[in-house]
Chain A
């Protein structure tokens, strides 16, 4: 009897390979058809509405003012420049937010595990209050109920004649490059190079002889002493320009607009609540046996924490921390609610309304966020891979 094998196999719907192929062809066909229909519809709609598609509009002059721009900007500048300003503002908020939220989140997360009852309870209250209130509501609250109700510049809150908080935002001294600046930069680089060399030498000696060296304290001393000496010889690296009240507003110094303050404050407070939970679960995931083992090897509390607990906890903390950073970057788009000039409110809001180029503007905005998301996750994946457990 001859088997009905491979070469003579009939094409039948009961064959899983055939069926899989058929399914996939169907799916791809469906996706392509849908894309084509969408394209056709959009094309006819655009033609009927008389909208010319394409990115030529980016060259046109914008003609409106922007409240905060990190690079120079005039009303006559192009939409492309407006886009860059919005992008830079988004990145600024994300960067400040990530740094502050990480610091605050780690402090709160460790506090929740504190043996001090009242500190632990306070941290719990913080987490439970702030992670259960929508971020947009927090932004609106800080903006409309806190910063806009502050007194005007003439009766602003004064912090030691250096910082002034008013309804116009936070006025602070501006750093300006002085005579000793470049010498100072060179001295800092020199200090860092010295520290690296010192660490190498100390590690080599420790491995060879077992004699420890106070790397941290010596390094700190080097980092302080070398630049300080340099500043003494060549003069101060920076000159501080103080804000002064003139008429109804401050002159000189840097000013952080209230929109930026409200946005970063709200995002920091909101994200820190989540980071605190991540940190807490990360530290709790390292079993107590690890601490005991480290102690029994003769490590004291500090080295136990630095060399045993934290490296293991970080492995658990990093992946969810990444997604919190991504959330923060995406939540920065909530600035549209208070009109801080970042990507969404500036570009997808004002520029879209002025030009009517809906498809191009939304596509650019979405791809920017996709690019930010993908690059943050690539960076964190690389870091995660570096510190991940190498199983043998």
Chain B
């Protein structure tokens, strides 16, 4: 089988592209990573010449930015409304669209692979994942939800067939996530995983729901086609009604 897989550091994070189609070619992976690097050049707040940095310094007006930035800013505005402001690309007056760009870049990578007719792959960027279909009788992709303390272990396993899985956590940097409305540090969840049909939404909703605190799970519950699994500092998990159907029934509680 000519499956191809590559893990590279792009956008300041490890990104995995794993394609299992028999006709998969390395050059397609090169195209995918080239696109990810292009995205990084435009959006990285750590690259002084990026459009994000130039907008942040006041050198570039958002309306004068390139088409990709326009697209991302428009999405940021839409999701800011959809999440009641719990997701925002503007933190304390400074532009940082990276909360949306990661999922958006994964979606672009997925579109490139789709364009080549590949059907059996996943793309992962720093813990956010877009899967297509598993191979043959191999069963669905098994995606572990990282245990927030024992980080080489998982708390649950999601069975993903053509799904997106995104996790936001406070444990990665300490409790640095804040409620944008109150400025209060979010301490309710160590990690918040959202599973759904679209990676951009899953990623943004995971970020927003984490910042919402206790009612974050209800927020996801009210969204059609999205499920959540959230872990609190007491190492207890709370999940939405459809989560169990997506998780490995051999482990933990099933419902």
Tell whether A pairs with B. Answer: no
Binding site for B on A (CB under 8 A): none
Query: Which residues of B pack against A, CB within 8 Å?
Result: none
